[in-house]
A = this chain, B = another copy of it.
Amino acid sequence: MTFSPVSDTLLNQFCTIVGEEFMLVAEHENFHRYASDETEDLKYFPEVVLKPANAEQIAQIVTLCHENFIPVTPRGAGTGLSGGALPVHGGVVISTERLNKIIEIDERNLQATVEPGVINEVFQQAVQEKGLFYPPDPASKGSCFLGGNLSESSGGPKAVKYGVTKDYVLNLQVVLPTGEIIWTGANVLKNATGYNLTQLMIGSEGTLGIITRIVFRLIPYPTKNILMLVPFREEEAAAAAVSQIFRLGLIPSALEFMEREAIEWAAEYLKIEIDLPADILAHLLIELDGNDLDVLYKEAEQLYELLQNYNIGELLLADTEAQKTELWKLRRNAANAVRYNSVYKEEDTVVPRAELPKLLKGVKEIGKRYGFKSVCYGHAGDGNLHVNIIKGDMSDDDWNNKLTEGIKEIFALCVKLGGTISGEHGIGLVQKPYIGIALGEVQLNLMRGIKKVFDPHGIMNPGKIF
């Protein structure tokens, strides 16, 4: 791929399209914000940042970029963890921050139409006010954009019962890399009309086009829930309990795993006092939801009986909303706490859920051999374990070189266990070197071929995935 620099002529054209106020060049005080996301400490500067108001402006910009071989990096809130929003080839960053309208919440059809720059939690609350539920909410729900959630195929703690982002998307408006605006499907719950372009867009990390409108399906909001924190004396016992819970016939609405340090670091980061007995090495955070509290208590009882087989400590049943909020805060801030503690790399490992104990044991064993410490937590119900490798006082050389081999071993273990190398963060930039562990050349060539069909000039988010 050979790209051209953004000429003054183009800058003028961009300026005419979006307006001076919404074009940022290097001199602008906020320009640097668009050079990084939440991935490690990486920085790549674009040539210009554009903040278009709508799909039509995006189409005009992209058409110019297509004609002039200018790289385009679509950007949501910049909360990604695989470097998907980093403009590694310079060029244009298109921020969707102004496409932030909830266009319609259709209570008759339990659907909603939104722009991609709507913050996940803002949307969740808006639909909840109407008694409706949009379940997928990544840990960053307070700041991440729905468009980014789609691009990275995000999950979140509710996925174990309710599925991930992809399971709620009915239809997408997309600006293609060649500048056309299309809808990928229809606003229906089932669709057997041609290839599934909607699902092809989801998880394509901004490499096939820019999502400009999303039609979601919604479900009725479950009105009751129970939350419990279960301490385990052995990490692997916690992981092993996970798959047994489903054999009770229960599907928890959340089933989260946290190593001791994940919860300790989060508590310290949030300045919350907790008092963990010395022999507790891991926790499961388990939520049950529904519309009937009696049923939930019955289910909790069943759960409690099962968990007695796993040498657990004293189980905490959250009594109040405040207590529930605090427990979720601890879980949701594990990543922030790790980031606050040290430079780190987060590996988004995923395996069939019953293989979690093997994965966890393997990660620790690999860590010992390569001399790295890891803090692990994640969506155990989905077999999705976030392995946070801590730089601590590791040398830069070890961090940049030797560690790579350790990560390869972790990913090879995932694949051996029937899993893969990313469950919900995407490949983006930082996992690109490892994609060959999960996918062979035949699959990658199919993906490259599809990319070329959508984006013959290769301008859309170049340098990502493969």
Given contacts A194-B447, A196-B200, contact A350 B188 (CB under 8 A): yes
Asked if A251 and B220 sit within 8 Å, CB to CB, the answer is: yes
Question: In the complex, what residue of chain B is closest to A209 when comparing beta carbons?
Answer: B446
Q: Is A421 an interface position by the 8 A CB rule? A: yes
Asked if A194 and B435 sit within 8 Å, CB to CB, the answer is: yes
Instruction: Tell me whether chain A's interface is mostly helix, strand or loop, or mixed.
Output: loop
Q: Is A274 an interface position by the 8 A CB rule? A: no
Count, chain A residues at interface, CB 8 A: 94
In the assembly, how many copies of this chain are there? 2
Q: Is A327 an interface position by the 8 A CB rule? A: no
Asked if B352 and A109 sit within 8 Å, CB to CB, the answer is: yes
Minimum Cβ distance to chain B for residue A210 (Å): 15
Question: In the complex, what residue of chain B is closest to A415 when comparing beta carbons?
Answer: B186
Given contacts A186-B418, A450-B450, contact A220 B193 (CB under 8 A): no
Expressed in whole angstroms, the Cα–Cα distance for A444 and B182 within the complex equals 11
User: What are the residues of chain B within 8 A of A355 when measuring CB–CB?
Assistant: 109
Asked if B449 and A453 sit within 8 Å, CB to CB, the answer is: yes
Asked if A197 and B443 sit within 8 Å, CB to CB, the answer is: yes
Asked if A446 and B442 sit within 8 Å, CB to CB, the answer is: no
Other-chain contact of A190, B107, B183, B298, B382 (Cβ < 8 Å): B382
Minimum Cβ distance to chain B for residue A350 (Å): 5
Other-chain contact of A383, B106, B154, B188, B466 (Cβ < 8 Å): B188
User: What are the residues of chain B within 8 A of A438 when measuring CB–CB?
Assistant: 186, 193-194
Question: In the complex, what residue of chain B is closest to A456 when comparing beta carbons?
Answer: B449
Expressed in whole angstroms, the Cα–Cα distance for A439 and B243 within the complex equals 43
Q: Is A230 an interface position by the 8 A CB rule? A: no
User: What are the residues of chain B within 8 A of A446 when measuring CB–CB?
Assistant: 176, 182, 195, 197, 453-454
Q: Is A63 an interface position by the 8 A CB rule? A: no
User: What are the residues of chain B within 8 A of A180 when measuring CB–CB?
Assistant: 442
User: What are the residues of chain B within 8 A of A292 when measuring CB–CB?
Assistant: 292, 295, 298
Given contacts A180-B442, A203-B195, contact A350 B109 (CB under 8 A): no
- Closest CB pairs A-B (n = 7): A449-B453, A199-B199, A108-B354, A186-B420, A187-B418, A220-B249, A109-B352
